[in-house]
């Protein structure tokens, strides 16, 4: 069956090649606002793409504030000493891990820029007569606090240590947990790593060699910072 020729609709008459009348010139997108429309579309697409990234960043910030994620940063590789006559904490966790120095750190030596550490996490802690010092070579940067009636206090406290000593007592301790299942301090360790946790911890005559410390809130009454010939 022969098909009938297509009949153009009104207002859409195709250009007549033999006509002396030129066809209507194509619209300039800039004149009609088409460029603006495309710009708005691109802006909307960019905004939509930015939403997931914004939500992820906000979620990470909330989780960090709640202590659900450990804060990761490159350590200097310079150990510092922390002492206290007494530490009392509720919500205690402890597990092994690695701290990493910045690439090319002069303190890396033959370690490859990594330090094997034990992370101690405490949900709420108080410390009496806190002392912190770092050996700068010939002098020590010394910080003291909590020597008066008000104690040093911290929430979501974590310390990365290579040495820890003192007289310790734990309440309702669990030893041998997988670090990824810890619940007492709100911090999760690496999967498959040995760990322990307890409802409370008390350590008298605390002494630590640390590479990193973090806290959600850290209150230091009577803070004094100075240089000293001797450390803690």
Residue 65 makes CB contacts below 8 A (sequence gap 6+) with 156, 216
pLDDT, residue 54, reads 43
How far apart are alpha carbons 133 and 136 in whole angstroms?
9
Where does the pLDDT of residue 37 fall: very low under 50, low under 70, confident under 90, or very high at 90 and above?
Answer: low
Mean pLDDT of 222-232: 96
92-131 burial, b at 16+ Cβ within 10 Å, e below that, comes to: bbbbeeebbbeeebeebeeeebebebbbbbbbbbbbbbbb
pLDDT, residue 34, reads 55
pLDDT, residue 35, reads 56
pTM, to two decimals = 0.70
pLDDT digit string, tens, across residues 179-226: 999 999 999 999 999 999 999 999 999 999 999 999 999 999 999 999
- Identify whether the C-beta of residue 121 lies closer than 8 Å to the C-beta of residue 158: yes
Beta bridge partners of 153: 126, 219
Where does the pLDDT of residue 72 fall: very low under 50, low under 70, confident under 90, or very high at 90 and above?
Answer: low
Asked whether residue 117 carries a pLDDT value surpassing 60, the answer given is yes
Please provide the average confidence, as pLDDT, over all residues in the chain.
81
pLDDT, residue 21, reads 45
Q: SS3 for 138-175, per residue?
A: CCEEEEEECCCCCCEEEEEEEEEEEEEEEEEEEECCEE
Asked whether residue 163 carries a pLDDT value surpassing 70, the answer given is yes
Residue 113 makes CB contacts below 8 A (sequence gap 6+) with 77, 100, 101, 102, 103, 105
Mean pLDDT of 130-142: 96
How far apart are alpha carbons 229 and 143 in whole angstroms?
13
Asked whether residue 66 carries a pLDDT value surpassing 80, the answer given is no
Share of the chain residues as helix, strand and coil, in percent rounded to the nearest 5:
15, 45, 40
Q: Which two tokens stand for residue 226?
A: 């100075």
Strands 80-100, 174-178: pairing kind: unpaired
Asked whether residue 157 carries a pLDDT value surpassing 70, the answer given is yes
Q: CA dist 137 to 115, 140, 177, Å?
A: 21, 7, 40
Lookup result for tokens 């974590």: 158
Q: What is the share, in percent, of the chain residues with pLDDT greater than 70?
A: 69
Residue 165 makes CB contacts below 8 A (sequence gap 6+) with 205, 206, 207, 208
pLDDT, residue 3, reads 43
DSSP sequence for 19-56: -SSPPPPPPPHHHHTHHHHHHHHHHHHHHHHHHHHHHH
Where does the pLDDT of residue 73 fall: very low under 50, low under 70, confident under 90, or very high at 90 and above?
Answer: confident
Lowest mean pLDDT among 13-22, 36-45, 65-74, 90-99: 13-22
């Amino acid at each position: 069956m022969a098909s009938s020729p297509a009949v153009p609709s009104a207002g859409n008459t195709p250009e007549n090649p033999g006509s002396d009348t030129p066809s209507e010139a194509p619209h300039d997108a800039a004149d009609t606002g088409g460029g603006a429309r495309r710009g708005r579309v691109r802006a909307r697409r960019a905004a939509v793409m930015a939403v997931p990234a914004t939500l992820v960043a906000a979620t990470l910030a909330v989780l960090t504030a709640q202590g659900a994620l450990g804060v990761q940063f490159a350590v200097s590789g310079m150990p510092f000493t922390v002492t206290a006559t007494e530490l009392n904490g509720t919500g205690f966790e402890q597990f092994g891990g690695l701290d990493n120095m910045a690439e090319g750190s002069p303190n890396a030596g033959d370690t490859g820029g990594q330090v094997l550490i034990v992370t101690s996490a405490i949900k709420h802690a108080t410390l009496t007569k806190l002392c912190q010092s770092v050996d700068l070579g010939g002098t020590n940067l010394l910080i003291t606090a909590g020597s008066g009636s008000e104690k040093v206090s911290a929430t979501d406290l974590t310390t990365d240590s290579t040495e820890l000593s003192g007289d310790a007592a734990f309440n309702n301790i669990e030893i041998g947990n997988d670090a990824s299942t810890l619940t007492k301090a709100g911090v999760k360790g690496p999967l498959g790593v040995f760990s322990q946790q307890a409802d409370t911890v008390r350590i008298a005559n605390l002494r630590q060699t640390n590479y990193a410390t973090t806290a959600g809130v850290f209150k230091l009454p009577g803070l004094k910072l100075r240089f000293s010939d001797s450390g803690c």
